[in-house]
Amino acid sequence: MNNQAQLTSDLCIALDQTASCDNNQRLQAEGFIQQAQTQEGCLPSLLQMLMRPAEVAAISGSSGHKLEAQEVCLRAVSLLKTLINNNWNHADDPAQDGVDKENISQNQQQNPWQTTSISQNDKDFIKANIFESLDIVHAQLKDKKIAAELENILYNIAQTDFAAGHWNESVQHIQARIQMNQSEESQLVGLRALKELVRAF
């Protein structure tokens, strides 16, 4: 198992343990997640859970039980949304000149989900795979809440990257899904994504 796959597996187990009745186990899981979120690859791991729900369901938890993919994926997308909303346009990014970094540091102490700037590799992975994630959530998980969280992530990314001309390929992803020869499910994903793109302006 490579490092990325191991991180994904470990995060799956930790997210499962955040609902544990064992207070020590829950605190350990939360501590691991806070540490993991500062690593490059954390955000792609969270998104990969949504893209591979069958693999999540095959992972054994700390007590030997199989994970409940739906619940783990919901926690994963909620964490992913929080991290992206707080850090996508972080003041440590070179593009964020003139931002009061001392104030950001104070806010980070108050907000444990505000970490460091998201690496370009992680950003590229999220933007390249969020549409496929939406396809899979609609087709396999069939969970409206998870889909809504992903759509909100798309909206927040579009507010900065699409507006700045850094995500023009998102239009191609949408166009590919709303073609007449696509399934009704795929067209729905495309139309809902288009709504978030338009809403970002």
Q: Which SS3 state, helix, strand or coil, does residue 65 take?
A: coil
Average pLDDT over residues 164-171: 94
- Average of per-residue pLDDT values in the chain: 88
pLDDT at 90: 53
Instruction: Write down the residue that tokens 């992913």 correspond to.
Output: 80
Torsion angle of the four alpha carbons 143, 144, 145, 146, in this order, in degrees rounded to the nearest 10: 50
- Count of domains observed in the chain: 1
Helix axes 42-51, 120-136, angle to 10 degrees: 10
Of the listed ranges 42-56, 95-109, 132-146, the one predicted with least confidence: 95-109
Per-residue pLDDT tens digits for 15-51: 999 999 999 999 999 999 999 999 999 999 999 999 9
pLDDT of residue 103: 42
What are the distances in angstroms from CA 26 to CA 18, 56, 63, 70, 115? 5, 19, 13, 19, 21
Longest Cα–Cα distance of the chain, Å, equals 53
Q: What is the rounded distance in angstroms from the CA atom of residue 158 to the CA atom of residue 198?
A: 9
- The boundaries of the domain holding residue 192 are 3-199
If you search the block for the tokens 């690496």, which residue do you land on? 119
The three-point CA angle 122-7-3 to 5° equals: 85
151 pLDDT above the threshold of 60: yes
Q: Which band of pLDDT confidence, cut at 50, 70 and 90, is reported for residue 98?
A: very low
- Higher pLDDT residue, 144 or 108? 144
DSSP conformational letter for 66? B
C-alpha to C-alpha distance for 28 and 20, rounded to whole angstroms: 11
Q: Are 122 and 43 in contact (CB under 8 A)?
A: yes
